[in-house]
Amino acid sequence: MIQEKLTEVRDNIIQSCARAGRSPEEVTLIAVSKTKPVSAIEVAIAAGQTVFGENKVQELCDKREYFQNPALQWHMIGHLQRNKVKYLIGKTALIHSVDSLRLAEQIDAGSAKAGAETDILIEVNMAREGTKFGVMPEDAERLIRVVAALPHVHICGLMTIAPYVAEAEDNRSIFRQMYQLYIDIKDKKIDNVDMKILSMGMTRDYQVAIEEGATMVRVGTGIFGERNYNR
């Protein structure tokens, strides 16, 4: 089941790329395994998946420790509390959810201590939802400029969590605005900033996100099935 769904998602990615005149190699699929057991992750690994997304520090570290497989990447996609940062340093390939200088400073300090550099994305609340984390789009450049000055974090791009909508098309304009912001900031050529990753699109809308320029899509339900939070 997981294997078939993974194949289906990969096929959809190829088709979305074709529609947009893009190469499928430009798009990385993150299999969002939060709440799912290691047995489900094992099936995905057997089907060739190497990049996984988690939204809790403890769960990410436990799963990483369980697999002990350097070929796997563990991405932190959820809101990150500053007091949890120290557990995450050195364990994650990319933190998608940096939205404040204070959080970036904590990651910088933890990385310095570990003699590491941590790759991050800046999370943008493009739809201005009161319930969501992320910096407002008009404040993104200012935040990026101050975070870029921290020596042990490396900004690799932008991330957004689009609204929960009935139709994927309803998020097209949000994705388009994200792509524009990404290009605008890329064009500023800020020191220590590499605008090469645009993380957007989930199960419901990743195909539209790819058409609008996503380079990373985060798909959970579409691969592993519905999550059950009451186990």
Residue numbers of the site for ligand PLP (CB under 6 A)?
A: 32, 34, 55, 77-78, 161, 202-204, 218-222
Helix intervals (H) in the chain? 2-20, 38-46, 57-67, 85-88, 101-113, 137-148, 172-187, 206-211, 221-224
Q: How far is the CB of 221 from ligand PLP (least distance, A)?
A: 3
C-beta closer to ligand PLP: residue 54 or 211? 54
Q: How far is the CB of 191 from ligand PLP (least distance, A)?
A: 28
C-beta closer to ligand PLP: residue 23 or 221? 221
Q: How far is the CB of 97 from ligand PLP (least distance, A)?
A: 7
C-beta closer to ligand PLP: residue 152 or 222? 222
Q: What is d(CA 36, CA 224) in angstroms, rounded to the nearest whole number?
A: 8
Which residue number is nearest to ligand PLP in terms of Cβ? Answer: 220
Q: What is d(CA 57, CA 39) in angstroms, rounded to the nearest whole number?
A: 19
**Are 153 and 108 a contacting pair, CB within 8 Å?**
yes
C-beta closer to ligand PLP: residue 132 or 176? 132
Beta-strand ranges (E) seen in the chain are 28-32, 51-54, 73-76, 94-98, 118-123, 153-159, 193-199, 216-219
Q: What is d(CA 14, CA 182) in angstroms, rounded to the nearest whole number?
A: 22
From the number of C-beta atoms within 10 Å of its C-beta (0-12, 13-18, 19+), residue 105 rates as: middle
Q: How far is the CB of 73 from ligand PLP (least distance, A)?
A: 15
Q: How far is the CB of 194 from ligand PLP (least distance, A)?
A: 21
C-beta closer to ligand PLP: residue 182 or 224? 224
Q: How far is the CB of 204 from ligand PLP (least distance, A)?
A: 6
Interhelix angle for 2-20 vs 38-46, to 10°? 60
C-beta closer to ligand PLP: residue 36 or 152? 36
Report the SS3 class of residue 173: helix
